[in-house]
Amino acid sequence: MTATSLPTPAAPPAGLSREQLLELYYWMRLTRTLEERLVALYRQTKVVGGLFRSLGQEACAVGSAFALRREDVLSPLIRNLGSMLVKGATPVEVLRQYMAKGDSPTRGRELNIHFGDVTERNFVGQISHLGDMVPVMAGVTLSFKLRQEPRVGLVYVGDGATSTGAFHEGVNLAAVQRCPLVVVVENNGYAYSTPTAKQCAAERLADKGPGYGVPGIRGDGNDVLEVYRLTQEAVDRARQGGGVTLLEFMTYRRKGHAEHDNQSYVPAGETERWAAENDPLDRYVRALTGTYGFAADELAAIDARVREEVDAATDVAERSGTPEPLDALSGVYAEPAMMPVQWYRAGVRSAVEVNERAQGWGTYDV
């Protein structure tokens, strides 16, 4: 795929204050800086498992999440670090997750940004199986409809995930029930190594909308203000009972699927071109300092603040300890609260105690 030529910044969407324009910049910058920190920690082998980047997709993540209220529920994927930060996830949480710390949001049970909070900040912990979050969010938003709560849900899928049966069943169910759900397809050109053209024969993924009886709208995913505006319209429509909207945002995955991926399958010059011509932060900086007349040092101040926050968060996260092994057995069910410890962990039993459960059964005494 080729980079689209540099567009001129859109007019500020109605209702965005100058503070909010800076806020958008702050979230995008925080996303990028935090990821750069994660790369450093990854190289120091402090990250357990893989590292997934959203470099070049920050506008898509931040602009869409920014259109939600606190009570609205967001369902992120691995490229949505920015969305989660906007929704209230903290750098410390993210760093602890990646380093598998005991006080991470999942207490070391799940990887990277697979975590959530549906009690206060309202974002749902994703699973790896692609597409599955769409039916789940159909149900989250169905509950809003049934209870007549003025809340909206937003679920992200990649271009690749649109091929899953779960995506299809979830969008169709939400559409036929007119659930207040916004489905954001982040078309970043690749699913792992597979280009979008090998994923779907349709030139525009937004064209799937009419097949579900919902609007299908494509937008420039690297223009944070356009992403915000189109998402805001879809969110309003959902809140007013207008049901589902399918948004396709065109963006580009500049890094590999994960850090280990050398992108050998990417045509020469492609990533460089996107970096040079269509970086969402560069574009937004130009818009802010150009069209909206912000001073360069206003942005520099934000950059500095972000660096400090990420430094501070890293110090805190690095001091966290590893999980307590026995905690691995808790919370599978509400009842029983703990799963039993295997008999041999209770120590070797003599023949005398043969053939009854070892005394230590259910307790951990190794």
Partner 1 sequence: MSEVTFLEAIRQGISEEMERDSDVFLLGEDIGAYGGAFKVTEGLLERFGERRVIDTPISEAGFVGAAAGAAHMGMRPVVEMQFIDFISCAYDMLTNYVATARYRAFLPCPMVVRGPSGGYVRGGPFHSQNPEAAFLHTPGLKIVYPSTPADAKGLIKSAIRDEDCVLFFEHKYLYRRIKETLPAGEHLVPIGQARVARAGTDVSIITYAATVWKALEAAEQLQQEHGISVEVLDLRSLLPMDDAAIVATVKKTNRVLIVHEDTVTGGIAGEITARINDLCFEWLDAPVKRVAAHDVPLPYAPALEDFVLPQTSDIVKAVRWLADY
Ligand X SMILES: Cc1ncc(C[n+]2csc(CCOP(=O)(O)OP(=O)(O)O)c2C)c(N)n1
| Interaction of residue 245 with a second copy, rule CB under 8 A | no
d(CA 132, CA 166): 5
In the complex, minimum distance from the CB of residue 354 to partner 1, in angstroms, rounded to a whole number: 5
Residue from 2, 128, 359, 363 touching partner 1 (CB under 8 A): that is 128
| Interaction of residue 261 with Mg ion, rule CB under 5 A | no
Residues from 172 through 211 that contact ligand X (CB under 6 A): 186, 188, 190-192
Cα angle 235-240-242, degrees, rounded to a multiple of 5: 80
CA distances from 41 to 160, 311, 316 (A): 29, 12, 14
Residue with Cβ nearer partner 1 (179 or 247): 179
d(CA 127, CA 131): 9
d(CA 58, CA 64): 10
CB atoms within 10 A of CB 325: 11
Task: Provide the β-strand partners of residue 220.
Answer: 250
Q: Which does 192 bind (CB under 5 to 8 A by kind): ligand X, a second copy, Mg ion, none?
A: ligand X
CA dihedral 291, 293, 295, 300 (to 10 degrees): -40
| Interaction of residue 214 with a second copy, rule CB under 8 A | yes
Residue from 57, 83, 187, 199 touching partner 1 (CB under 8 A): that is 199
Residue from 114, 178, 239, 273 touching partner 1 (CB under 8 A): that is 114
Q: Which does 188 bind (CB under 5 to 8 A by kind): a second copy, partner 1, ligand X, none?
A: ligand X
Residue from 136, 154, 227, 288 touching partner 1 (CB under 8 A): that is 136
Residues from 255 through 314 that contact partner 1 (CB under 8 A): 264-265
Residue with tokens 């120091």: 44
The encoded tokens of residue 10 equal 């859109």
Cα 223 versus chain centre, distance: 18
Residues from 9 through 48 that contact partner 1 (CB under 8 A): 48
- Residues found near a second copy in the complex (CB under 8 A): 163-169, 172-173, 175-176, 178, 198-203, 205, 207-214, 216, 243
